[in-house]
Structure 1
Amino acid sequence: MVKGVIVLALLTLFSSCNSKEDAVQHELGLVYNVLRDADVDNFEVYSMNLDGSNKKNITDLHRVEWTYYSYKDTLYFISDRDSCKRCYFLYKSDFDGKHVQKVSDLELADSWMSSRNDGEELIVKPKLITKSTFYILDRNGNIVNRLDTGLLFAADPLFVNDGRQVVFRGGKTVGKNIDGFDEELYIMDSDGSNLKQLTHYPEEDTSAGKYGYRAGAPKLNPTENFVTYQSKQDGKYSLYATTLDGSKTWKLTENTQDEGWHDWSPDGKWLAIELFDDEQSQFHIGLMNWETKEMEILTDDTFKYQQAPNFIWKSRD
């Protein structure tokens, strides 16, 4: 009996230690993009804690580095280091900017990305003459599959429904500078079949004009399973949401500032949002408690452009 109590106590202690270790390992931070020096076109990736403390430049190369996606403890970013100006290749690191590795020799377009199968496969937009194509890469950067969307333009692919489908931003011309672009969110199966339009920008609204977002890069709420996106409607950028079957679309938030690129925490409790004024004179990163809708601004005015936040585990799994 005594031996059993001792074993149980040891197991409890071991479990408690593991739980504490897991909690530390899975503590969340944020990474985001900063225009550090406009004169030399220098963009960097910064990291910070969820309370806004310990802001740190984790790329620091005086080149162009942008991040749009992290998975668990891995930060993915595109960079023109070791290549021509704005010729982007995919790299990865951790929250502290350490363990930098080049993921692939495939040149990429400037686009958001996502993953499936516990991070084993990434979906990206390559830089091709054909602007309607996505590639699926394995963890080593090898091309697993090619997806043709059937549209003339496609970007910002997002795996949904456990990787069985892809939501993306699509247009009916190759770019916004051509009349008839008609940008919307679309969904298709991960083999490229069953294309369906999800969003429908209000016909009477002219707020987005020719170059504003009618439907920006999609993000998935991981617990309530709807997709969110930025859209300029009624003269203001706000966040909107749509169900995965397109049957319901609604305005997500009621912030007074304009809202742009954003990300959901893995547990769906937090929403990190890029916030800015109508003149786009100052961009901040805000953190919203999704349950209470309370918002905290995490950045200061040191830099004008602070954009595209995404969540990341602060230490390795």
Structure 2
Amino acid sequence: MSKIFFLAINSLILITTACNSKNQRASKEKSINDYAIIYNVLVSDSTDNYDVFKMNLDGSEKKNITNLPGVEWSYISIGKKVLFLSDKDTCRRCFLLYQTNYVGENPKKVSDILLADSWMSSRKNGLEVIVTPKADSAFYIIDLEGNIQSRVETGLPYSRDPVFVNDGHQIVLRGGLTKSKLIPGFNEELYIIDIDGTNRNQLTQYPKKDTTAGRFGYKAGTPKLHPTENYITYQSKQNGKYSLFAVSIDGKKHWKLTENVQNEGWHDWSSDGKWLAIELFDDSQTQFHIGLMNWDTKELSILTDTTYKYQQSPNFVLKN
């Protein structure tokens, strides 16, 4: 009786393990199939023509989803919505905000506010977006009808690339102590502020002895929030190479995020935290690719080819 009982238990364990393994594989496949990657491509250098492209997580079905003559850049997708900046209805590089889906259907204008070239973030289940108005160091929080909900003063001469943290109650941003990198004393770092602009604290500190970023390289590039592990990731040129680094929300813990051979730049996390899309490039910046890392295994795949030189700024969008 005892032997039969243990055989039954062992069989049940084997069946349960097999089912769990099958479910994990199915979950992984579902994650892969549900996402697409949106990225920006320099289609024509001579005409300064950038467009927004999409592709599957295996690099298949690449498509130009904006296909316009001017400059189109996407820095955020919200669920199934792809938001992108475009100068198609204004002057050169005078950007308004538009939205479409991952295959470029039914594009429409979101806002008449002139915006800076800056990453964005959303809160309240995608109902509100934080953007950077052109020629301003403040941020606007707008709804998807383009209405301004609030203005956030940062107290810094230069503020870009805001990301909501702590359920939208705080903002992490890339800030400078002068209005431009052209002005001495810029000292780019990441900061965190409350949603009303108060209680500003510096999160990063670029190594004082490191001069390899020079005047114009990123010392603390665009911040991104890991959606499940709740820390900030960013690019920084240190020891002569662009790499991804991380910092806790309270600024108490700092670490190097990845160990890729290539230079690493703008990046994005999938909403489930399982995938990391990274802009990768060589030291001379002669070729830019989009890579995809499985965050559990750290396996990295290159998804793009050499059809275009500049393939940058990936972000994840849901297909279904």
- How do 1:1-317 residues align onto structure 2 when only pairs under 5 Å count? 27-128=34-135, 131-315=136-320
Q: Using the alignment, how far apart are the partners of 1:109 and 1:117 within structure 2? A: 23
C-alpha contact (below 8 Å) 1:167/1:187 kept by paired residues: yes
Structure 1 stretch displaced more, 201-210 or 131-140: 131-140
Distance 1:301 1:25 in 2: 24
Q: Distance in 2 between matches of 1:26 and 1:154?
A: 36
Structure 2 CA distance, aligned partners of 1:182 and 1:57? 37
Mapped partners of 1:24, 1:49: distance in 2: 11
Paired AA for residue 91 in structure 1: Y
Equivalenced residues, count: 293
Partner SS, residue 115 of structure 2: coil
Instruction: Give the TM-score normalised by the residue count of structure 2.
Output: 0.90
The aligned residue for residue 7 of structure 2 is none
Per-residue CA distance 1:123-172 (angstroms, 9 max, x = gap) = 000013xx321000012111110111001100000001110000000000
TM-score by length of 1: 0.90
Task: Give the whole-Å Cα distance in 1 for the aligned partners of 2:82 and 2:232.
Answer: 22
How far is 1:24 from its partner?
9.3
Q: Report how far residue 26 of structure 1 moved.
A: 7.8
Q: Deviations over 1:3-22 (max 9, x none)?
A: xxxxxxxxxxxxxxxx99xx
- Which fold has the larger relative contact order, with Cα–Cα distance below 8 Å and residues 6 or more apart in sequence? 1
After TM superposition, which residue ranges in structure 1, 4 or more long, deviate above 2 angstroms? 23-26
> CA distance change for structure 1 residues 91 and 25 in 2, over 3 Å: closer, same or farther?
farther
Alpha-carbon separation, structure 1, partners of 2:129 and 2:121: 6
Assess if the C-alpha contact under 8 Å between 2:33 and 2:57 holds in 1. no
Give the Cα separation in 1 of the matches to 2:144 and 2:87. Answer: 21
CA-based RMSD of the aligned residues comes to: 1.5
Q: CA deviation at 1:99?
A: 1.9
Identity of aligned residues (%): 61
Structure 1: give runs of 5+ residues left out of the alignment. Answer: 1-18
Question: In 2, are the aligned partners of 1:78 and 1:88 still within 8 Å (CA)?
Answer: yes
- 8 Å CA contact 1:219–1:228 kept in 2: the answer is yes
Q: Deviations over 1:249-268 (max 9, x none)?
A: 11100000000000001111
Counterparts of 1:158 and 1:91 in 2: how far apart (Å)?
19
Is the 8 Å Cα contact of residues 32 and 57 (structure 2) preserved in structure 1? no
Contact 1:78–1:89 (CA under 8 A) maintained in structure 2? yes
Deviation at 1:314, TM superposition (A): 1.2
Give the letter for the 2:164 counterpart. F
Gaps of 5+ in 2: 1-25
The 3 A distance-change label for structure 1 pair 24 and 211 is: closer
- Give the residue type in structure 1 aligned to 2:222: A
Cα pair 1:25 1:313 within 8 Å, conserved: no
The answer to whether the 8 A contact 2:102-2:319 is kept is yes
Structure 2 distance, partners of 1:175, 1:275, is 26
Cα displacement (A) at 1:25:
12
CA distance in 2 between counterparts of 1:313 and 1:224 reads 20
